[in-house]
């Protein structure tokens, strides 16, 4: 049981399950940040009994989803990348053309305006889905870096007029952007799954840190003058944290 990964499927929303065995009378299910947390009595030792509790948890979660569907919006739909998959990011749609090759490592190339050719090592000793995801991240970082730089320069020249050392686009799960004391601005490439006004907000947020390196009232006053509805966007990012991802 310890080596088996369990999932709960809620109408295409595939949620990984973290099982915790402990001294308790009955089972309990809760929604964690990235997993469904299923606590079951220590006396349950066999997979068939675990499956019984998985079925019970699935039924409970279906009822919750029917009453409060918004609580599930933070989870990511598990994507299965394969040839013909339509990959939407940054307001653009790319079609994936995935093939095995004699390469020792993966390779990704934009061969037409909207076709991404992905070549994978022709062996089975690695996680193909993870490699495809990593390649899509690398492509997106390179493809959208000029766009994020353009946004930074636009808002900086219009409102802030501050020197900037570097602008980088990274794959970051812990925040949407950051600003260092060295005047380096970093943004998560995951932002490009969000609407354009959300990206604008995060750019303004990090530029505002060049004025106030904190989240004081003065900082939020700066942000609000440029993005009056920033609180709505903050909530949107929180709710869609799992959805805006590869």
pLDDT tens, residue order, the chain (246 aa): 445 678 888 876 778 888 888 888 788 898 887 788 998 887 755 545 778 888 889 999 989 888 887 777 666 666 889 999 999 999 999 999 999 999 999 999 999 889 999 999 999 889 899 999 999 999 999 999 999 999 999 999 999 999 999 999 999 988 999 999 999 999 999 999 999 999 999 999 999 999 999 999 999 999 999 999 999 999 989 878 878 999
**Whether residues 63 and 101 fall in one domain:** no
**Whether residues 136 and 150 fall in one domain:** no
Q: How many domains does the chain have?
A: 3
* Distance between CA atoms of residues 171 and 245, nearest Å: 9
* Distance between CA atoms of residues 117 and 87, nearest Å: 12
**Whether residues 230 and 183 fall in one domain:** yes
State which of 124, 140, 156 marks the end of a domain. Answer: 140
**Whether residues 100 and 153 fall in one domain:** no
Residue 126: which domain range? Answer: 86-140
**Whether residues 133 and 148 fall in one domain:** no
Residue 244 lies in a domain: no
**Whether residues 92 and 136 fall in one domain:** yes
pLDDT digits (tens, 9 = 90+) for 95-144: 999 999 999 999 999 998 899 999 999 998 898 999 999 999 999 999 99
State which of 121, 140, 159 marks the end of a domain. Answer: 140
Cβ–Cβ contacts within 10 Å for residue 96, how many?
Answer: 19
* Beta strands 13-22 and 36-41, pairing class: parallel
**Whether residues 149 and 223 fall in one domain:** yes
| CATH for 164 | 3.30.2010.10
Cα–Cα separations (whole angstroms), residue 66 to 9, 70, 150: 14, 10, 42
* Distance between CA atoms of residues 42 and 195, nearest Å: 46
* Distance between CA atoms of residues 112 and 120, nearest Å: 19
* Distance between CA atoms of residues 152 and 158, nearest Å: 10
């Amino acid at each position: 049981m310890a080596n088996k990964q369990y999932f709960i499927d809620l109408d295409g929303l595939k949620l990984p399950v973290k099982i915790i065995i402990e001294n308790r009378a009955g089972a309990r299910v809760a929604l964690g940040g990235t997993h469904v947390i299923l606590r079951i009595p220590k006396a349950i030792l066999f997979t068939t009994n675990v499956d019984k509790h998985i079925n019970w948890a699935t039924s409970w979660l279906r009822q919750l989803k029917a009453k409060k569907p918004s609580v599930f919006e933070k989870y990511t739909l598990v994507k299965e990348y394969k040839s013909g998959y339509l990959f939407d990011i940054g307001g653009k749609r790319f079609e994936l053309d995935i093939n095995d090759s004699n390469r020792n490592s993966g390779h990704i190339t934009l061969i037409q305006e909207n076709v991404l050719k992905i070549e994978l090592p022709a062996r089975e000793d690695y996680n193909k889905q993870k490699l495809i995801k990593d390649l899509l991240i690398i492509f997106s970082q390179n493809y959208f870096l000029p766009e994020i730089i353009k946004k930074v320069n636009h808002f900086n020249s219009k409102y802030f007029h501050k020197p900037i050392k570097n602008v980088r686009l990274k794959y970051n799960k812990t925040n949407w952007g950051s600003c260092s004391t060295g005047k380096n601005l970093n943004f998560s490439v995951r932002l490009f799954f969000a609407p354009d006004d959300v990206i604008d907000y995060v750019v303004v947020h990090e530029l505002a840190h060049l004025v106030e390196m904190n989240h004081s009232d003065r900082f939020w006053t700066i942000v609000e003058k440029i993005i009056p509805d920033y609180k709505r966007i903050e909530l949107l990012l929180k709710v869609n944290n799992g959805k805006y991802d590869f």
